[in-house]
Amino acid sequence: MAKQYETVIGLEVHVELATKTKIFCSCSTSFGGAPNTHTCPVCTGMPGSLPVLNKQVVEYAIAIGLAANCEITRMCKFDRKNYFYPDNPQNYQISQLYLPIARNGYVEIETGDTKKKVRIHEMHMEEDAGKLVHDEWDDTSIVDYNRSGVPLVEIVSEPDMRSADEVLAYLEKLRLIIQYLGASDCKLQEGSMRADVNLSVREMGSGKLGTRTEMKNLNSFKAIARAIEGERQRQIELLEEGRAVVQETRRWDDNKEYSYAMRSKEDAQDYRYFPEPDLVPIVIDEAWIEKIKMMQPELRDEKLARYKKEYDIPEYDARIITESKRMADIFEKAAAICNNPKKVSNWLMVETLRLLKESGMEPEGIRFSPENLAKLVKLTDSGDINSSVAKQVFVKMFEENIDPESYVKEHGLSTVSDEGELLAVLEQVIADNPQAAADYKNGKEKALGALVGQTMKAMRGKADPGQVNRRLKELLG
């Protein structure tokens, strides 16, 4: 019988914090400026410059630590990690090794029907490096320091995960916590959330951990799942062939679906960490922690529980809506304004998700405001517009966040409640379609549809189809 293997996975997750300015200077963190425009002597490591810690970084880190059930280190310090690379302007990175800001936490994940805790070993604050651009044409590299000094936290888990599903659930959990805190937008594709996977395999039932590898360059959830499966297979094959897994760092190539060895443990650099002498220790007292706790928003799990109690919407819908902070915010605000959570939920679950999917957008990128969505719900509730007009208006709102009330008015889309105008049109339609009218009178129910269609066309969609139906039946009855 073939041996059964268990996969053991731990994660190192880097998250770019959503501060307006960098961790040690007042340069902007905004993405996409012309190269080296968001820079100053500090983040380009000019001689004589000194770092000054951005307090907001510490507050975000404490908030994440608390939400992940960590112990907050009351006196934490920064250390220097020394290594030479051109994207690292000082040739050392200011990070934390000896006294990281948070330790010993956990988050709870759900896969299928099972719940489990993934423990967090530690979380530390550090600065991001610049970006190297390689010019293949004239074989040079150019460096852009705009990203240099953007604040990061690195969250290091214990090796508590056993499958790609658990890894994805863990990442999703971290993403939700951090997005809800407003501490980061956590976009894997844009690199504001990056995960390195530490993976080993062992025979089922063995108490000893196997030799692990670390995989880098994983920039989507799908890539992570494929990389885990690929690496698991590779390690099992090695063991089956009686060969050993080498402790090393590997780079995942998602196109080739294969990982390549980058450097082995023997080549690992000695970072010569030591306490950063240019920064003073950060003393975090109870009052500061309490203040951050007070400001902590409702997190996803709490929100989900509250939705079940407060709103009459299916649990499935509540889950989807709360998976995005933006979506949940829109839902709650719009529901409160129009007092119709069910309709608001429907708009989000059907039309919003459809349009997001079509345009390849994330829910966090939704542009329309809750106020406008509430207006749209009100317009349909009152019968001012019919459902097909509402859909048209919604598309416009999704694209440009237009105000549905003024849009309907400007484009003359509101349902005509003027019975006189409707009656005139109906009489005209009947007169123009004598055959259909006759068919209906002779018991052909279907013929009515054609008349309703003609009427709606003549009214340029501004009639309520129910009303048209009723009136037609009366006239032909």
Partner 1 sequence: MDICSMTALELGKKIQQKEISAVEAVKAALECIEDREPEINSFVTVDAEGALKRAEEVQKSIEEGTIVSPLAGVPVGIKDNMCTKGLLTTCGSKILKNFKPTFTAEAVRNLERAGAVIVGKTNMDEFAMGSTTETSYYGETRNPWNPAHVPGGSSGGSCAAVAAGECTYALGSDTGGSIRQPSSFCGVVGIKPTYGTVSRYGLIAYGSSLDQIGPVGKNVADCAAVLEIIASHDKKDSTSIDRKDYDFTSALVDDVKGMRIGIPRDYFLEGLDCEVKENILNAVKVLEDKGAVVEEFDLSLVQYAIPAYYVIASAEASSNLSRFDGVKYGYRTETYEGLHDMYKKTRSEGFGAEVKRRIMLGSFVLSSGYYDAYYLKALRTKALIKKAFDSAFETYDMIAAPAAPATAPRLGESLSDPLKMYLGDIYTISANLAGLPGISVPVGTDSLGLPIGMQLIGNCFEEKKIIRAAYAYEQTRADAGKGAD
Binding site for partner 1 (CB under 8 A): 41, 44-53, 80, 82, 84, 86, 89-92, 141, 143, 270, 272-274, 277-280
Query: CB of residue 71 vs partner 1: minimum separation in angstroms?
Result: 24
Query: CB of residue 282 vs partner 1: minimum separation in angstroms?
Result: 10
Closer residue to partner 1 (CB): 49 or 469: 49
3-state secondary structure at position 136: coil
- The CA distance from 321 to 345, in Å, is 8
| Share of the chain residues as helix, strand and coil, in percent rounded to the nearest 5 | 40, 20, 40
> What residues contact 191, with CB distance under 8 A and at least 6 apart?
16, 219
Residue 366 Cα to chain centre, angstroms: 12
Query: CB of residue 82 vs partner 1: minimum separation in angstroms?
Result: 5
Structural contact between residues 117 and 147, judged by C-beta atoms closer than 8 angstroms: no
Closer residue to partner 1 (CB): 86 or 314: 86
Cα-flanking dihedrals φ and ψ of residue 194, to 5°?
A: -135, 140
Closer residue to partner 1 (CB): 279 or 416: 279
- The CA distance from 163 to 420, in Å, is 67
3-state secondary structure at position 379: helix
Structural contact between residues 144 and 37, judged by C-beta atoms closer than 8 angstroms: no
- Residues across the chain: 477
- The CA distance from 124 to 65, in Å, is 10
Q: Given CA atoms 356, 359, 365, 368 in this order, what sign does their dihedral have?
A: negative
Closer residue to partner 1 (CB): 98 or 190: 98
Whole-angstrom Cα Rg for the chain: 30
Closer residue to partner 1 (CB): 260 or 274: 274
Query: CB of residue 284 vs partner 1: minimum separation in angstroms?
Result: 16
Closer residue to partner 1 (CB): 219 or 247: 247
- The CA distance from 399 to 161, in Å, is 40
Closer residue to partner 1 (CB): 279 or 299: 279
- The CA distance from 256 to 313, in Å, is 44
| Two tokens, residue 355 | 């349009």
Query: CB of residue 42 vs partner 1: minimum separation in angstroms?
Result: 9
- The CA distance from 283 to 278, in Å, is 16
Closer residue to partner 1 (CB): 90 or 198: 90
| Two tokens, residue 412 | 């003359």
CA angle at residue 224 from 222 to 225, to 5 degrees?
Answer: 65
- The CA distance from 475 to 477, in Å, is 6
Query: CB of residue 166 vs partner 1: minimum separation in angstroms?
Result: 33
Query: CB of residue 249 vs partner 1: minimum separation in angstroms?
Result: 17
Query: CB of residue 262 vs partner 1: minimum separation in angstroms?
Result: 16
Residue 329 Cα to chain centre, angstroms: 14
Which residue, among 421, 441, 437, has the nearest Cα to 429 in the 3D structure?
A: 437
Closer residue to partner 1 (CB): 46 or 295: 46
Closer residue to partner 1 (CB): 98 or 240: 98
Query: CB of residue 127 vs partner 1: minimum separation in angstroms?
Result: 14
Closer residue to partner 1 (CB): 126 or 231: 126
What DSSP designation does 161 have? B
Query: CB of residue 124 vs partner 1: minimum separation in angstroms?
Result: 18
Query: CB of residue 102 vs partner 1: minimum separation in angstroms?
Result: 22
